[in-house]
Chains A and B, each alone.
Chain A
Amino acid sequence: MITLNPLRWGKPYESLDFKNVVHFDTGDPIAKVGTVGGGIVGRDIRKAGKAREALLQITPSELIERCKKAAELFEKGDLKVGDSVQTVNDFVHQQSASTGLPEHMCRSNMSKNSFVLSNIDQILNCLTRGLDLSIFARGYGEEGRGVTVSYQAQTPILGAVLPNNSPGVHTLWLPAVPLQIGLALKPGSQEPWTPYRMISAFIEAGIPAEAFSLYPGDHDVGGAIMAKTSRSMIFGSAQTVAQHSGNPKVQAHGPGFSKILLGDDVVDDWEKYLDLMVESVLSNSGRSCINCSGIWASRHTREMGEAIAKRIGPVDIRPPSDPTAELAAFTVPAMATGTYAMVQQDLSEAGVTELTSDYGDKLIEREHCAYLRPMVVHANSPDRAVASKEYMFPFVSVVECPQAEMLSRIGPTLVGTLLSRDSKWIHTAGNCTEIDRLNVGPIPTNRLNWLQPHEGNLVEFLFRNRAYQIAEF
């Protein structure tokens, strides 16, 4: 069994308290994780300046090269993780075993993280709109228009309270490293694998270990990271997001409520977009904020829903090693039963119809875990409560709504795919502040272009663009 210990600015710390990470299906322990309390975090964060100092010793261009090497090591190498040497296959087995995600999805998330890191130069070029990265290192510089520009780091480190079971989100904190910002991470209790392997890859690639801290622990560790760092990100529920709303120090990531909106000009050809809809709902077992939870159209919604149900309704549980497995387990069975109860409540409302009822039981309970099989529901109006729901399994509401009302009724939408050629409507959608990422045309909601910002630009979160005047004297 692998033992993972906390890392304090590059130095492993042998904790006296351990928590087991267990196999989702058997309950057998697969890792022992040493934990710390918030006091250690607070104490270390007082020395956070040294993490940035260590990174500032290396030029941004050299850091980018090392990040690319880290990407290669992360995706293909054998790396020292905890007290073991971890192969790629070990990583995939371990991550699948603790999160309940099928192994091919673990590999896919691994590739996604690696892709972002190996293309970090282009990503930063886009996020900074082509600024020379040495301007961020020095704090000011010449952009090329004869004007001094200044970007002041708002923090020496980025704190992150990482999710328990969503290995796809780690792309969001990776760009901090080449921006010479250190990392203080609280790994998720069931998914310590990605942060541990990624930090190991960074260090192996020659990035100073002093730039990294890993603090497994309870809620007080998350609280200490959020309270003591000047910039942090957290992943959680809608309640978590609401709690941090308006706090400039915190970037909160929660449910996405991503949607596909069909315009009246294309809705009669909806069958052309069936594959796009199925992928958007089903990919990554419907677990991501970028999975589609709502498909809105003015007509044909019932047929659309039935066609999607025909495709995803039969999806059943398969072993995690099966390359065709499409469902992830709920590692906490109560989450599945609770979610199912909420869905039942949604279905009890008049005007809401389940379209997957012919495809067998949805809640499958096992001794240590549970599954929810895909569900498609039809809502005859955006007034139905289910129209604004998102759940952690392949679940979509197909909502009947006149096009003219759609943009004012959709509510928060992380990814909005607009299927329409109606330029006036496209323009209105571009101005709709409910939509964060706007896809115009047939782009599945789960396919992100990493060259564009995601839920806020990390550069703007970590740095402040301010005036810097210099006079000769």
Chain B
Amino acid sequence: MMSSDPTVIDQAVAKQAADALEQLNEHTIRTVHWHFSDETGSPFWLEKKRELNFDPLTEVKSFADLKKFPLFEDEWLRGGPIRRWVPKGHAEKPVYVFETGGTTGIPKSRMVIEDHWKDYELFSETLPEKYFPIGSNWLMLGPSGPRRLRLAVEHLAQHRKGICFCIDLDPRWVVKLIKKGWMEHLEEYKKHCIDQAVTVLTSGHDVKCVFATPKLLESLGEALEEKGTSIPEVGITGIFSGGTEFTPQWTRFCVEELLGGSPEESGVYMTPTYGNTLMGLACSKPISAADGYKISYYAPQPRAATEVVQFDDYNQVVGYGETGRVKLYTLTDEFFVPGFMERDEGEREAPFNLYPWDGVSGVRPFHELASSTTVGVY
């Protein structure tokens, strides 16, 4: 399916894109060497190396060569020992573990050392200071517990010389409530979370910046309005939000109704993001009414990369504007993912000057898996 307005890449951007690809190729080779060298690699990848029919140390010479690896299976992340993922080169460093899933059964665990800091420091550079002032305090209106997001947002606040206020929110309980059909309890739990947020925002902590999922942001706006105030009135000027339910229609609703207009009109800037525990955080091209609130995400290359690939051949990218499944690569010295098929699909977006590499727009649950996905408040 072609989008109505496939982007044309001009010469200057094409040159930038070629430079970015060269950087990605070099970064890929360095990362593969790190993870597959006996001195620095993790027990998991060194073990895996034996199963490969090629030598990653000599036969991976570019990003494209990552296709020689089998697809990364996130099932590998279930269960321990977690230490098998720690690269020997980082053996002495303190390690975090972040989890996804786990509503029932064993969650998927990813070990992290400093990746979440680095990712969010990079992301920090994309935030306009006018709306995310340095030194301002933050509210993390998202999941607590063993989640990367919670510590990452706190680090973002601290990196920007602010202090982060958090709430208690157990997303596993939310998913259980939905699966049990306990919708009244779900509503009450959502209120419980929002009450915590409203308390922080109305207690004189001078919070100007917020992370919130779309559903919680919606509920926060509603709760504040029921109290006779609003997101702009309590002093919020910058919001970063994330989740696959981020559609152009929701973004329009958020900007036009929840926030009261464009940043120039309302004084509030909202930026969508796309991320997960494996990859980190992809930024959005700035959204605007003129562009139909289209949301296009760009991974923090070269630390991570995304491709939009054909549904029937995960090694073939689709053409610009065409629809395919999202494939992720993580290429840091802490974690190596040589191609993971996300549970999402979208359209391939062309590079542009700010992010001169491929992006993805219209992200939504992969149609073959969509019916089994439960989206809670988080």
Residue of A nearest to B254 (CB): A39
Which chain A residues lie closer than 8 Å to B253 at the CB level?
36-37, 39-40
Contact between B181 and A243 (Cβ–Cβ < 8 Å)?
A: yes
Contact between A42 and B222 (Cβ–Cβ < 8 Å)?
A: yes
Contact between B249 and A15 (Cβ–Cβ < 8 Å)?
A: yes
Which chain A residues lie closer than 8 Å to B261 at the CB level?
none
0/1 string, B212-226, CB within 8 A of A gives 1: 000000100110011
User: Out of A17, A38, A46, which one reaches B225, CB within 8 Å?
Assistant: A46
Report how far A15 CA is from B221 CA in the complex, Å: 21
Q: Does B232 contact A (CB under 8 A)?
A: no
User: Out of A16, A38, A42, A46, which one reaches B252, CB within 8 Å?
Assistant: A16
Report how far A38 CA is from B375 CA in the complex, Å: 14
Contact between B248 and A40 (Cβ–Cβ < 8 Å)?
A: no
Residue of A nearest to B257 (CB): A43
Contact between B248 and A16 (Cβ–Cβ < 8 Å)?
A: yes
Give the dominant DSSP class at B's interface: helix
Q: Which residues of B from 215 to 261 have beta carbons under 8 Å from A? A: 218, 221-222, 225-226, 247-250, 252-254, 257-258
Query: From residue B378, how far is it (CB to closest CB) to chain A in Å?
Result: 14
Which chain B residues lie closer than 8 Å to A226 at the CB level?
183
Q: Which residues of A from 221 to 237 have beta carbons under 8 Å from B? A: 223, 226-227
Residue of B nearest to A37 (CB): B250
Contact between B222 and A40 (Cβ–Cβ < 8 Å)?
A: no
Which chain B residues lie closer than 8 Å to A38 at the CB level?
218
Contact between A16 and B247 (Cβ–Cβ < 8 Å)?
A: yes
Which chain B residues lie closer than 8 Å to A223 at the CB level?
183
Q: How many residues of B contact A (CB 8 A)?
A: 19
User: Out of B181, B222, B249, which one reaches A17, CB within 8 Å?
Assistant: B249
Query: From residue A189, how far is it (CB to closest CB) to chain B in Å?
Result: 14
Contact between A40 and B257 (Cβ–Cβ < 8 Å)?
A: yes
Contact between B250 and A35 (Cβ–Cβ < 8 Å)?
A: no
Q: Which residues of A from 9 to 54 have beta carbons under 8 Å from B? A: 15-17, 35-40, 42-43, 46
Which chain A residues lie closer than 8 Å to B183 at the CB level?
223, 226-227, 243
Q: Does B168 contact A (CB under 8 A)?
A: no
Which chain A residues lie closer than 8 Å to B247 at the CB level?
16-17, 37
Which chain A residues lie closer than 8 Å to B221 at the CB level?
39
Which chain B residues lie closer than 8 Å to A227 at the CB level?
183, 187
Counting residue pairs across A and B whose Cβ atoms lie within 8 Å, the total is 43
0/1 string, B249-293, CB within 8 A of A gives 1: 110111001100000000000000000000000000000000011
Q: Does A428 contact B (CB under 8 A)?
A: no
User: Out of A35, A39, A46, A243, which one reaches B218, CB within 8 Å?
Assistant: A39
Residue of B nearest to A35 (CB): B249
Residue of B nearest to A44 (CB): B257
Residue of B nearest to A220 (CB): B215
Residue of A nearest to B225 (CB): A46
Most chain B beta carbons < 10 A, residue from A16, A36, A239: A16
Report how far A15 CA is from B257 CA in the complex, Å: 13
Which chain A residues lie closer than 8 Å to B249 at the CB level?
15-17, 35-37
Query: From residue A14, how far is it (CB to closest CB) to chain B in Å?
Result: 10
Q: How many residues of A contact B (CB 8 A)?
A: 17
With A227-B187, A239-B181, A243-B183 known as contacts, the answer to whether A39 contacts B222 (CB < 8 A) is yes
Query: From residue B141, how far is it (CB to closest CB) to chain A in Å?
Result: 15
Residue of A nearest to B251 (CB): A16
Query: From residue B279, how far is it (CB to closest CB) to chain A in Å?
Result: 26
Report how far A39 CA is from B225 CA in the complex, Å: 13
User: Out of B222, B292, B293, which one reaches A43, CB within 8 Å?
Assistant: B222
Which chain B residues lie closer than 8 Å to A40 at the CB level?
253, 257
Which chain A residues lie closer than 8 Å to B257 at the CB level?
39-40, 43
Report how far A170 CA is from B181 CA in the complex, Å: 26
Query: From residue B188, how far is it (CB to closest CB) to chain A in Å?
Result: 11
Residue of A nearest to B221 (CB): A39
Which chain A residues lie closer than 8 Å to B252 at the CB level?
16
Query: From residue B109, how far is it (CB to closest CB) to chain A in Å?
Result: 30
Query: From residue B186, how far is it (CB to closest CB) to chain A in Å?
Result: 9
Residue of A nearest to B187 (CB): A227
Most chain B beta carbons < 10 A, residue from A15, A17, A37, A223: A37
0/1 string, A209-226, CB within 8 A of B gives 1: 000000000000001001
Report how far A223 CA is from B183 CA in the complex, Å: 8
Q: Which residues of B from 161 to 184 have beta carbons under 8 Å from A? A: 181, 183
Query: From residue B66, how far is it (CB to closest CB) to chain A in Å?
Result: 35
Query: From residue B182, how far is it (CB to closest CB) to chain A in Å?
Result: 9
Contact between A17 and B258 (Cβ–Cβ < 8 Å)?
A: no
Query: From residue B92, how far is it (CB to closest CB) to chain A in Å?
Result: 48
Which chain A residues lie closer than 8 Å to B293 at the CB level?
16
Which chain B residues lie closer than 8 Å to A35 at the CB level?
249
Contact between B248 and A17 (Cβ–Cβ < 8 Å)?
A: yes
Contact between A39 and B181 (Cβ–Cβ < 8 Å)?
A: no
Report how far A38 CA is from B257 CA in the complex, Å: 13
Residue of A nearest to B252 (CB): A16
Contact between B258 and A39 (Cβ–Cβ < 8 Å)?
A: yes
Report how far A464 CA is from B187 CA in the complex, Å: 26
Which chain A residues lie closer than 8 Å to B292 at the CB level?
16
Report how far A16 CA is from B254 CA in the complex, Å: 13
Report how far A42 CA is from B220 CA in the complex, Å: 12
Which chain A residues lie closer than 8 Å to B218 at the CB level?
37-39, 42
Query: From residue B357, how far is it (CB to closest CB) to chain A in Å?
Result: 26
Residue contacts A-B, CB under 8 angstroms, 18 given: A16-B248, A16-B249, A16-B252, A16-B293, A37-B218, A39-B221, A39-B222, A39-B253, A39-B254, A39-B257, A39-B258, A42-B218, A42-B222, A43-B222, A46-B225, A227-B183, A227-B187, A243-B181
Q: Name B's A-contacting residues (CB within 8 A).
A: 181, 183, 187, 218, 221-222, 225-226, 247-250, 252-254, 257-258, 292-293
Query: 4 tightest A-B contacts by CB?
Result: A17-B249, A39-B218, A16-B249, A16-B248
Not counting A17-B247, A227-B187, a sample of 13 additional A-B residue pairs whose C-beta atoms are within 8 angstroms of each other reads A15-B249, A16-B292, A17-B249, A35-B249, A37-B218, A37-B253, A39-B222, A39-B254, A39-B258, A42-B218, A43-B258, A223-B183, A243-B183
